[in-house]
């Protein structure tokens, strides 16, 4: 996992520096941050404390017990100052102190951060120390700690955000799987390692979805609701909005008419869902065709939540009375390919980014996005700093990428009023003969079979 490797290398560099370090590591639940950290401290003297949701007094008692056991020291006082003064390494190595679920303490006890900074500055434990605060709460970090005017965020020497796996990393988890199946897995589970680790490569997509998500005693049957409830209050409102967006109510006015909630209320809840990284506002790539573009489009950005609210949420009661296989055939299978298309576009974007990074494109991509038009879309627009442009169309489920589909892209390029020097066409099932002939005669038109990457 390249992203993990880079972050772990950064942690190691901080550890090996002569100075003490204070690191904030965060990322959504399910990214195996804690497993990576346990590997990181395997050969290092360390204290690992997992904070609980409890009173400040009980929290300090639990931390005192952990430090006493890890450092083999008696502790009488549970004040943070005294606790951190009792840290010990007993080796000629830097000590690592990890506090996971750190948001449980940071939200409630200002003395904690004050003394963490003193510890980093060698005002308490005098030996070398590296402190890592870890949290699953993206919204807490980005909307409270990072909020303008907040001082705590500036106290960290390094802030590391752990992201979901990209498509290439998912493919590497399943080296024997056909890429067509990998698109579907990525389109259902996203890049969350915890979910992906449950997938059985020897079973079909249908068998895995039934076993992991649809069976009422399966590990992910309640996952979507539990994940939302972990940080968001009023689940009924959030679930209503997510369901509406997943069903295609993509504009604020659509949500207003469908849910009956006031526009100001919807705006507030959409802001919270954006902080939670469950929803995103899709802004058309900026081109000259502004009047032909749609404005203010919303999507469910969390892949698994999108799958759940599109296919399962409205029919979940039936899973208690019919077999999961019949549910899959009736409510998921007919529209799964259309649903996965958005993920396929994302994979094509990742392909372009990777190709740009290794100098295999005619331009160096500085920005890319989608142009959402009133009469059609350009799946991907990519530009460099001089506005040299690649326009792309993606074909996922159709039998072939046809010349007519290419013509549709040219029409949308005119609608967007963009000058596209290069055309990239992505397909999972090949291209028709006419299109292949045209591409052979024009070096600026690239046909890319994504199953031959």
Q: Are residues 236 and 324 in the same domain?
A: yes
Range of 136's domain? 2-161
Q: Are residues 40 and 23 in the same domain?
A: yes
Residue 180 is predicted with a pLDDT of: 81
Q: Is the pTM of this model over 0.85?
A: yes
Q: Give the contacts of 386 (CB within 8 A, at least 6 positions apart).
A: none
Nearest Cα to Cα of residue 410 among 383, 395, 391, 437? 391
Q: Are residues 236 and 326 in the same domain?
A: yes
Q: Are residues 346 and 334 in the same domain?
A: no
Q: Are residues 48 and 26 in the same domain?
A: yes
Counting the structural domains of the chain, the total is 3
Domain end call among 114, 135, 161? 161
Q: Are residues 124 and 203 in the same domain?
A: no
Residue 150 is predicted with a pLDDT of: 65
Is residue 396 within 8 A of residue 180, CB to CB? The reply is no
Q: Are residues 194 and 325 in the same domain?
A: yes
Residue 109 is predicted with a pLDDT of: 94
CATH code for the domain in which residue 360 is found: 3.40.1350.10
CATH code for the domain in which residue 280 is found: 1.10.10.10
Residue 74 is predicted with a pLDDT of: 93
Nearest Cα to Cα of residue 435 among 396, 397, 409? 409
Residue 293 is predicted with a pLDDT of: 87
Residue 386 is predicted with a pLDDT of: 94
CATH code for the domain in which residue 114 is found: 3.40.50.300
Nearest Cα to Cα of residue 410 among 432, 438, 387? 438
Q: Is 376 left (phi over 0), alpha (psi -120 to 50) or beta?
A: left
Domain end call among 161, 189, 220? 161
Taking CA atoms, 90 is separated from 71, 77, 95, 126, 419, in Å, by 8, 22, 9, 13, 65
Q: Which two tokens stand for residue 386?
A: 């001089």
| pLDDT tens per residue across all 453 residues of the chain | 456 788 899 999 999 999 999 999 999 999 999 999 999 999 999 999 999 999 999 999 999 999 999 999 999 999 999 999 999 998 889 999 999 999 999 999 999 999 999 999 999 998 999 999 999 999 899 888 877 556 666 789 999 999 999 999 999 999 888 878 899 999 999 999 999 999 999 999 999 999 999 999 999 999 999 999 988 989 999 999 999 999 999 999 999 999 999 999 999 999 999 999 999 998 888 888 788 888 878 999 999 999 999 999 999 999 999 999 999 999 999 999 999 999 999 999 999 999 999 999 999 999 999 999 999 999 999 999 999 999 999 999 999 999 999 999 999 999 999 999 999 999 999 999 999 999 999 999 999 998 776
Domain end call among 283, 304, 339? 339
Question: DSSP secondary structure string, 77-110?
Answer: --SHHHHHHT----SSS-EEEEEETTHHHHTT-H
Beta bridge partners of 297: 282
């Amino acid at each position: 996992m390249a992203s993990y490797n880079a972050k772990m290398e950064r942690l190691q560099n901080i550890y090996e520096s002569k100075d003490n370090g204070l690191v904030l590591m965060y990322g959504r639940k399910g990214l195996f941050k804690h497993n990576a950290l346990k590997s990181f401290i395997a050969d290092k003297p360390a204290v690992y404390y997992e904070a609980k949701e409890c009173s400040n007094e009980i929290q300090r008692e639990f931390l005192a017990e952990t430090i006493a056991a890890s450092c083999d020291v008696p502790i009488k006082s549970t004040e943070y100052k005294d606790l951190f003064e009792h840290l010990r390494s007993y080796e000629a190595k830097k000590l690592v102190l990890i506090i996971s679920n750190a948001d449980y303490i940071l939200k409630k006890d200002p003395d904690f951060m004050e003394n963490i900074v003193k510890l980093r500055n060698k005002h308490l434990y005098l030996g070398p120390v590296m402190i890592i605060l870890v949290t699953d709460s993206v919204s807490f970090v980005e909307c409270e700690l990072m909020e303008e005017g907040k001082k705590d965020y500036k106290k960290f020497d390094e802030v590391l955000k752990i992201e979901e796996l990209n498509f290439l990393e998912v493919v590497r988890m399943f080296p024997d799987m056909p890429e067509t199946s990998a698109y579907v897995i990525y389109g259902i589970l996203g890049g969350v390692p915890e979910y992906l680790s449950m997938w059985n490569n020897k079973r079909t997509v249908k068998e895995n979805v039934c076993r992991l998500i649809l069976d009422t005693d399966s590990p992910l049957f309640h996952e979507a609701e539990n994940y939302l409830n972990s940080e968001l209050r009023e689940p009924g409102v959030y679930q209503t909005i997510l369901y509406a967006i997943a069903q295609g109510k993509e504009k604020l006015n659509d949500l207003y008419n469908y849910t009956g909630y006031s526009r100001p209320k919807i705006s507030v809840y959409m802001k919270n869902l954006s902080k939670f990284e469950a929803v995103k506002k899709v802004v058309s790539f900026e081109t000259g065709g502004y009047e032909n573009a749609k404005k203010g489009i919303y999507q469910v950005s969390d892949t698994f939540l999108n799958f759940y609210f599109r296919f399962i949420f409205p029919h979940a009661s039936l899973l208690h009375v019919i077999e999961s296989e019949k549910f899959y055939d009736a409510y998921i299978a007919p529209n799964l390919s259309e649903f996965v298309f958005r993920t396929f576009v994302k994979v094509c974007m990742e392909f372009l980014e990777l190709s740009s990074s290794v100098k295999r494109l005619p331009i160096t991509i500085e920005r890319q996005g989608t142009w959402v038009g009133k009469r059609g879309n350009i799946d991907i627009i990519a530009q460099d700093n001089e506005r040299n442009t690649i326009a792309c169309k993606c074909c996922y489920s159709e039998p072939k990428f046809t010349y007519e589909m290419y013509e549709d892209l040219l029409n949308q390029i005119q609608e967007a009023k963009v000058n596209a020097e290069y055309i990239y066409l992505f397909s999972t099932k090949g291209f028709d003969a006419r299109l292949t002939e045209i591409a052979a005669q024009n070096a600026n038109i690239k046909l890319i079979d994504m199953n031959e990457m």
